[in-house]
Structure 1
Amino acid sequence: MRSSDVERFYSHVLKGPHADSCWLWLGAISDDGYGRFWINTVGGQRAVAAHRFSLATVHGGLAAIEGLTALHWCDVPLCVHATLDPSTHLLLGTRSDNMADRAMKGRMPSATAARWRRLSRTERSARSRQVREELKSHGWDEDLVRELVHGIDPDHPTLF
């Protein structure tokens, strides 16, 4: 992993004010609402999910996390808070670990699934872009982040 890529990556990250805050991605966003980061490889450019690149920076590179899944402790698609200490929001696991986490949090598809399920892929992507643009314009504002990421009332869908 090149240090120039890591430096460029973190230039697109807005870290919250507290040790347990999300670190939100302000770069490119894919059609699934997750961040995307481009790296140069021998074969040309390659897009990497921003949260996976962040995990790779603390676990020894992209090859070291190949075949593993990123689990979002915070369930915020734009969060890239990966560390080796307890404040991390991203953990490495298997696909089974990710499915178990999903079930435990009540995010399994069903007629009574949590409110975020009402958002289509397109709507989730649009909300991620809205969060990014608001953060770029206003910086980290605790009330704004809470409103945009976690919803403003019980009937308002969360970002994820």
Structure 2
Amino acid sequence: MKGPEPDDGWFWTGAISDDGYGRFWVKRDAGQQSVRPQRYAIELATGQVLAASTPLLHSCDIPICVHADADLQPSHVVPGTHPENMLDRFQRGRYRNRYTLRLGVLPRPVRVQRSLDLRAVILDHGWHPELISAALLGVEFSHPRLF
């Protein structure tokens, strides 16, 4: 589902794996291969197949967003390097281990559930900004908000 504004996300509504990201199968020269939709989207947009070792940097931090553009400026996913990916995840607060704990890092089951909830909202209601926001925040739509 593609949002109406140029900066909006494009959300994958297919299968979601146990890490909260989309996943599907494609036929390649070596047979069938499991692919993340955002990787496939950037390959379609740029016309180049990414090396398996090339990470994608995700500017919106929504695991099921596949907003990819050949012009990398508006794209929500862009190819990067491993050091760039590690720096990006640390700066965005998506990193924790036994030595560091960053507030705001979602445990894997929570990230998966939010992806499933977001997909359900989109499939049930289409592009509905208030419901999408509630799903991304992990709250009920009827939950009172300050703003």
TM over 0.5: yes
Q: Which amino acid aligns with 2:59?
A: W
Moved over 3 A (4+): none
Give the equivalent residue in structure 2 for 1:57. Answer: 44
Cα deviation per residue 1:48-107 (whole Å; 9 max; x = unaligned)? Answer: 011111111122242x44421100000100000010222110111011100111122232
Q: Take 2:43 and 2:118, find their aligned partners in 1: how far apart are those partners?
A: 24
Q: Which has the higher strand share?
A: 1
On the 8 A contact 1:70/1:93 being kept in 2, the answer is: yes
Structure 1 segments unaligned to the other structure (5+ residues): 1-13, 153-160
On the 8 A contact 1:131/1:148 being kept in 2, the answer is: yes
Q: Which has the higher helix share?
A: 1
Secondary structure, in 3 states, of the residue corresponding to 2:116?
helix
Q: Among the aligned pairs, what percent are the same residue? A: 39
Pick from 89, 94, 104: which aligns with 1:115? Answer: 104
Shift of 1:144: 1.0
Secondary structure, in 3 states, of the residue corresponding to 2:79?
strand
On the 8 A contact 1:59/1:65 being kept in 2, the answer is: no
With structure 2 as the length reference, what TM-score do the two structures score?
A: 0.83
Cα deviation per residue 1:127-147 (whole Å; 9 max; x = unaligned)? Answer: 211211111010010111111
Alignment size in residue pairs: 136
With structure 1 as the length reference, what TM-score do the two structures score?
A: 0.76
On the 8 A contact 2:38/2:77 being kept in 1, the answer is: yes
CA spacing shift, 1:73–1:32, aligned 2, 3 Å: same
Give the equivalent residue in structure 2 for 1:105. Answer: 92
Structure 2 segments unaligned to the other structure (5+ residues): 140-147
Spell out the pairing of 1:9-158 with structure 2 (5 A cutoff).
14-62=1-49, 64-85=50-71, 86-109=73-96, 110-111=100-101, 113-117=102-106, 119=107, 121-151=108-138
